[in-house]
Amino acid sequence: MTNDPRVAEGTDAFAVIATLAEVADVRHAADAYRETMRRAYWEDKDVHVVVAVAYSGVSRLLAAAADPAVDEETEYELRSAAKGLTHDLASFTWIGWDEPDVVIDASLAIAGHAAARANLSMAYTLDKGDLAISRAHWTLGAHLLTSGDLENAAISFDEAERHAIEAGATGEAHLSLAYAALTELAAGRAGESELRAALDRLRLDDGGEGFVAQVETTRRVIGV
């Protein structure tokens, strides 16, 4: 085995995982898993490889963290790295981005939904703080919204807003409010005026135009 923190290339998931298994230092491997997932998504547009690498990486990192010989600091580092992989997996399998040339079928969306739940659980158990918890709630809400579970999506976006406010992240709080308004519109509990007001507020934040475009893309994807 080697300590080289390589990035595995190719679209054969088993070959990619085998290459990553050769990285001896598990902390270096954590970076390699993450970069390999990003390459598979952004360059190869192969979300099936993203999922396979994520599952392999999370399993390896959590197994290493559970080793009695590992000190507490390293254990926390490894569990945090595993959380990072679940976050990326949840993001890369969300249809709401409508990323060109990326195809996400039902099985991939289900895997992403599970990853979003795992990411949220780890944000709490690892005590990652309000901003990370807000983002984890938002990510779960995003998956719930596009899967049609509007009741629970609304709850997740409300929690995302609350924790963003606690973290002092006003822009992210407004983003969650906009997605909450989109959810209410999709559920028939609110109208265009509520969503428009939320988008107007969001547009005033730093990077707000980009966030507004994100909400509008998601709206188009879900057909509201």
- Among 4-8, 34-38, 154-158, 161-165, where is mean pLDDT lowest? 4-8
Digit-coded pLDDT (tens) for 107-159: 999 999 999 999 999 999 999 999 999 999 999 999 999 999 999 999 999 99
Whether residue 21 has pLDDT greater than 90: no
Q: What are the boundaries of each domain within the chain?
A: 1-128, 131-224
Give the span between the Cα atoms of 214 and 175, in whole angstroms. 9
Give the span between the Cα atoms of 91 and 102, in whole angstroms. 12
Give the pTM. 0.91
Whether residue 1 has pLDDT greater than 50: no
Whether residue 180 has pLDDT greater than 80: yes
Question: What's the Rg (C-alpha) of the chain?
Answer: 18
How crowded is the C-beta side of 223, counted as CA atoms within 13 Å? Answer: 2
Beta bridge partners of 107: none
Give the amino acid at 5: P
In this prediction, residue 6 carries a pLDDT of 46
Beta bridge partners of 2: 23
CA geometry: angle at 106 spanning 101 and 107, to 5°? Answer: 100
**Phi and psi, residue 223, nearest 5°:** 70, 40
What are the strands, taking DSSP E only, across 2-143? none
Whether residue 200 has pLDDT greater than 90: yes
Beta bridge partners of 23: 2
**Phi and psi, residue 2, nearest 5°:** -130, 160
- How many other C-beta atoms can be found within 10 angstroms of the C-beta atom of residue 27? 15
Digit-coded pLDDT (tens) for 64-110: 999 999 999 999 999 999 999 999 999 999 999 999 999 999 999 99
In this prediction, residue 11 carries a pLDDT of 55
* More confident position, 79 or 5: 79
